[in-house]
């Protein structure tokens, strides 16, 4: 085996080189504003389809980064996404990340109302935080709830919408894109069926790492 790399940093650097080469071979031109997010997502998944399916509202990355520097609360729809977001990067900037999916009161609400825990968790977060960002990597019902909240007057700081699956997934993503464009909310959405908590965390980390690079 050739080209054995001895450190994680070296492995990541080589991976990004290969991804850049792969984008060129596929004649995929990604705007510079979005490139590190797309590359980090491909690095997380080994799936070049994200170069086409990731949708960015106008100036999404720069607007999200601006909000992150103000320490906004970040709400995830899985503990897996929560654990995947770089705690070191968050600690440097000040934002706190939360997941309420395992809260007993959320489970009780979902049973009482015949909804999902993700639906109730995002609703609860909107009542607890006047300003919050929402990161969904699993539950389309979380995006459906965000659409409802925006119609009711709530304004998320930003939205990462990348749930994975087959039931209501594509539809919920298209609806969240429409809502975010209507209310001028910065968003990054993985169109289609693909996504996941690892993708959600990867997108967040790409943005956090960009801030770290600027500050170093």
Which of 23, 38, 42, 43 is the catalytic position? 43
Reduced to 3 states, what is the DSSP secondary structure of residue 46? coil
Identify the helix (H) or strand (E) that includes residue 97: strand 97-99
Strand partners, 133: 74
Work out the number of other CB atoms within 10 angstroms of the CB of residue 75. Answer: 28
Active site residue 148: no
28-to-10, 25, 62, 154 alpha-carbon distances in Å? 25, 8, 22, 36
> Which residue in the block uniquely carries the two structure tokens 């996504």?
195
Enumerate the active-site residues.
43
């Amino acid at each position: 085996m050739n080209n054995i790399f001895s450190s994680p940093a070296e492995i990541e650097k080589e991976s990004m080189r290969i991804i850049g080469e792969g984008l060129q071979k596929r004649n995929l031109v990604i705007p510079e504003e979005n490139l590190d997010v797309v590359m980090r997502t491909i690095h997380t998944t080994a799936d070049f389809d994200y170069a086409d399916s990731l949708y960015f509202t106008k100036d999404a990355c720069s607007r999200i980064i601006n909000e992150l520097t103000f320490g906004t609360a970040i709400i995830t729809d899985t503990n897996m996404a929560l654990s995947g977001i770089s705690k070191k990067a968050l600690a440097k900037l000040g934002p706190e990340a939360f997941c309420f999916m395992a809260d007993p009161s959320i489970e009780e609400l979902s049973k009482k109302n015949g909804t999902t825990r993700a639906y109730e968790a995002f609703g609860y977060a909107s009542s607890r935080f006047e300003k919050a960002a929402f990161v969904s990597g699993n539950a389309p019902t979380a995006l459906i709830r965000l659409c409802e909240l925006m119609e009711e007057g709530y304004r998320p700081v930003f939205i990462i919408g990348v749930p994975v699956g087959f039931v209501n997934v594509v539809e919920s993503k298209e609806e969240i894109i429409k809502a975010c464009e209507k209310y001028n909310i910065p968003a990054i959405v993985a169109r289609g069926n693909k996504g996941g908590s690892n993708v959600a965390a990867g997108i967040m980390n790409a943005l956090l790492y960009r801030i770290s690079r600027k500050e170093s």
